[in-house]
């Protein structure tokens, strides 16, 4: 138990969640039924973690969307502190924001192809919050999203001291470090008592379109830590475009009234991407320069405001432009800004051999590039055919 009395802290979030998930009104006596309050009116450790004020600083969640495959430059970084339900909601919103959802056109419908299974991400975060070691006061749960994977870190390893990577998931018994926390989440339908959370993460991920066993989520633990790694189902180490009469390696080798072996030097940018580059360039020119160097560019928030972009769209487009080498981030994650590094018709990271290499995995963007490439090829073929006809 703690020194906090039941009247000192409130449970509005808990009550609203209980009513939403069960359809039943929340009564104060449930605090004792859930073992959140003792018979003497003192809050247990679990009770404090579910209270609205939750004064424990280590009840925190750090979320970061990294640019690339390692912890280098953060595209989005947020820190949350509060009760478990608040952290769960914040973490789910952050993962949803950065879970790109492409689509595949089928004969009679459109098939959504998200990077990750929403349910798998939810299960992974619930597992991290419920089973973490809350005696570790100097650590917190982390969500790290890279181009090719999402990793959730939780303080505290397996409760029995074993290494999860050496265990068969079908034979791992349900032993809970924090049974009270787990029981409350079970009441809400957020988890099951059977200890099937890790298997469910794998099963839900396996339902994604195009899933292969190579993309199966993995789990690893040490004595003081637990990691859940879920691979981006749409990520490829080489951008793959499939266009009409084309190959899947990003090059165009189609047949349009003859043989076409086009060589595309650079993929065209979308209107939105060009607008971003132009607005950064315009702002930089207005600010002028100091000692011959550019004084400033625009922050992400300023770009969103000027172009009326949503947060998700802005982060996605900026990540793509940075990957192509057209812009760069100057300064820290919180106070830094974006500057243009080269003209938009000469992307630095795009090879000149007709292929498109990189880590862009947004399907809509790839389709736009592919459409523009095909249009250019058709125009060139038409011109060549016209010239040959005149000569004849």
Q: Which pLDDT does position 386 carry in this prediction? A: 59
Q: What is the mean pLDDT of residues 204-226?
A: 91
Quote the mean pLDDT of the chain: 78
Q: Which pLDDT does position 75 carry in this prediction? A: 94
Contact predicate 294/342, CB 8 Å? no
Q: Which pLDDT does position 55 carry in this prediction? A: 94
Q: Which pLDDT does position 388 carry in this prediction? A: 54
How is domain 60-231 classified at the architecture level of CATH? 2-Layer Sandwich (3.30)
Q: Which pLDDT does position 380 carry in this prediction? A: 57
pLDDT band at 87 (very low <50, low <70, confident <90, very high): very high
CA dist 142 and 91 (Å) reads: 9
- Listed residue (109, 373, 98) closest to 235, CA to CA: 98
Question: Hey, how many other C-beta atoms are within 10 angstroms of the C-beta on 365?
Answer: 21
Q: Which pLDDT does position 264 carry in this prediction? A: 34
Q: What is the mean pLDDT of residues 210-224?
A: 90
This prediction's pTM: 0.62
Which one has a higher pLDDT value, 378 or 139?
139
Which one has a higher pLDDT value, 387 or 79?
79
Residue 371 has pLDDT above 80, yes or no: no
Q: Which pLDDT does position 285 carry in this prediction? A: 62
Q: What is the mean pLDDT of residues 370-384?
A: 52
Q: Which pLDDT does position 382 carry in this prediction? A: 58
For the chain, the domains span 12-50, 60-231, 271-340
Contact predicate 75/328, CB 8 Å? no
Contact predicate 164/220, CB 8 Å? yes
Q: Which pLDDT does position 384 carry in this prediction? A: 59
Q: What percent of the chain has pLDDT over 70?
A: 74
Residue 120 has pLDDT above 70, yes or no: yes
Q: What are phi and psi of 15, to 5 degrees?
A: -65, -45
**Alpha helices (H) in the chain, listed in sequence order:** 12-22, 30-33, 45-50, 84-97, 118-131, 179-187, 197-205, 271-287, 300-307, 311-323, 363-391
Give 89-111 pLDDT, tens digit per residue: 999 999 999 999 888 777 778 88
Residue 201 has pLDDT above 50, yes or no: yes
How is domain 271-340 classified at the architecture level of CATH? Orthogonal Bundle (1.10)
Residues in the chain: 392
Sign, CA torsion 14/123/312/338? positive
Q: Which pLDDT does position 391 carry in this prediction? A: 53
What is the SS3 assignment for 229?
strand
Contact predicate 182/176, CB 8 Å? yes
Give 232-247 pLDDT, tens digit per residue: 999 875 343 332 333 3
Q: SS in 3 state form for 57-108?
A: CCCEEEEEEEECCCCCEEEEEEEEECCHHHHHHHHHHHHHHCCCEEEEECCC
């Amino acid at each position: 138990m703690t020194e906090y009395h039941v009247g000192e802290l409130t449970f509005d979030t808990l009550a609203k969640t209980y009513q939403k998930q069960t359809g039943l009104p929340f009564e104060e006596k449930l605090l004792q039924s859930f073992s959140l309050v003792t018979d003497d009116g003192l809050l247990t450790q679990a009770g404090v973690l579910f209270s609205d004020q939750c004064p424990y600083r280590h009840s925190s969640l750090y979320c970061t969307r990294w640019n690339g495959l390692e912890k280098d430059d953060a595209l989005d970084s947020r820190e949350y502190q509060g009760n478990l339900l608040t952290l769960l909601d914040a973490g789910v919103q952050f993962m949803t924001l950065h879970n790109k959802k492409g689509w595949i056109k089928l004969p009679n419908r459109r098939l959504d192809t998200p990077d990750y299974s929403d349910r798998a991400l939810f299960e992974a975060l619930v597992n991290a919050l419920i089973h973490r070691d809350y005696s570790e006061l100097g650590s917190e749960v982390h969500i790290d999203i890279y181009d090719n994977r999402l990793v959730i870190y939780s303080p505290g390893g397996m409760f029995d001291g074993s290494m999860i990577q050496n265990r068969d998931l079908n034979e791992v018994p349900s032993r809970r470090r924090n049974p009270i926390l787990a029981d409350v989440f079970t009441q809400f339908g957020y988890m099951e008592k059977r200890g099937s959370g890790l298997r469910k993460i794998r099963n839900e991920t396996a339902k994604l379109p195009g899933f292969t066993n190579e993309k199966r989520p993995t789990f690893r633990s040490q004595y003081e830590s637990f990691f859940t790694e879920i691979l981006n189902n749409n990520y490829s180490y080489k951008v793959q475009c499939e266009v009409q009469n084309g190959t899947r390696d990003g090059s165009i080798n189609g047949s349009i009234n003859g043989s076409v072996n086009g060589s595309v030097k650079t993929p065209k940018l979308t209107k939105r991407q060009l607008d971003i580059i132009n607005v950064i360039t315009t702002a930089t020119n207005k600010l002028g320069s100091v000692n011959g160097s550019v004084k400033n560019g625009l922050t992400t928030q300023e770009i969103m405001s000027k172009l009326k972009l949503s947060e998700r769209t802005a982060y996605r487009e900026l990540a793509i432009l940075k990957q192509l080498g057209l812009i760069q981030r100057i300064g820290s994650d919180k106070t830094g800004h974006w500057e243009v590094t080269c003209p938009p018709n000469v992307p630095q990271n795009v090879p000149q051999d007709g292929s498109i290499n990189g880590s862009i995995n947004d399907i809509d963007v790839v389709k736009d590039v592919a459409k523009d490439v095909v249009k250019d090829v058709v125009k060139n073929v038409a011109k060549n055919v016209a010239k040959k006809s005149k000569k004849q």
